[in-house]
Amino acid sequence: MKFFVTLFILLSCFSLHCKNPFAPGLNTELSQGVCPPLTEVEGVFCTFRNAYSFKDTTMYSSLLADNFTFLFRDYDNGVDVTWGRDDEMRSTYGLFANAQQLTLIWNTFVSQNITTVDATILRAFTLSITFNPSDIIRIDGYANIKMQRDDKTKPWKIVQWRDESNF
């Protein structure tokens, strides 16, 4: 009998160890399940936002094609800077590791040209980077994103992102 009482107490503890009535479950729109599938353009932007919010490089890397290229204008030197997928992942990892919080808001679509297998989208965004409470950077800009896929049943992959921000 003592064995069964001990077993009952142990099983009760194990079944209740994850339940905390004072800390209800997280209910946020940033949940991965809320995003449309990556076969939809909005699914790419939603997952992109979530990757930044959660600082999740695995989620972010799932959006990038193997031949991905990132481009931006270095206004100080008057040149365009380009790098590939590996450099993008290193750069993004550094951003995710050094920021306390990232908030990416996708704003209006400025233009979009979408076929079954190609998409070129110019979209406004706001990115807030919090390094610490006294060091917050806010960037308002435009992302000119080109996506491709093999057919309409396959997920979109970003092949080029031209950052058209002026900061």
What predicted TM-score, i.e. pTM, was given to this entire model? 0.78
Find all residues with CB under 8 Å of 157, minimum gap 6, and list them. Answer: 63, 64, 65, 68, 147, 148, 149
Residue among 140, 133, 146, 147 at smallest CA distance from 164? 140
Domain extent at residue 116: 39-163
Determine, yes or no, domain membership for 46. Answer: yes
Determine, yes or no, domain membership for 98. Answer: yes
Task: Give the C-alpha separation, 26 to 30, whole Å.
Answer: 10
Say if CB 159 and CB 68 are below 8 A apart: yes
Determine, yes or no, domain membership for 141. Answer: yes
Residue-wise pLDDT for 54-104, tens only, equals 999 999 999 999 999 999 999 899 999 999 999 999 999 999 999 999 999
For residue 53, which amino acid is it? Answer: S
Query: 134: domain CATH number?
Result: 3.10.450.50
Residue-wise pLDDT for 48-59, tens only, equals 999 999 999 999
- For the chain, the domain total comes to 1
pLDDT: is 23 or 119 the higher one? 119
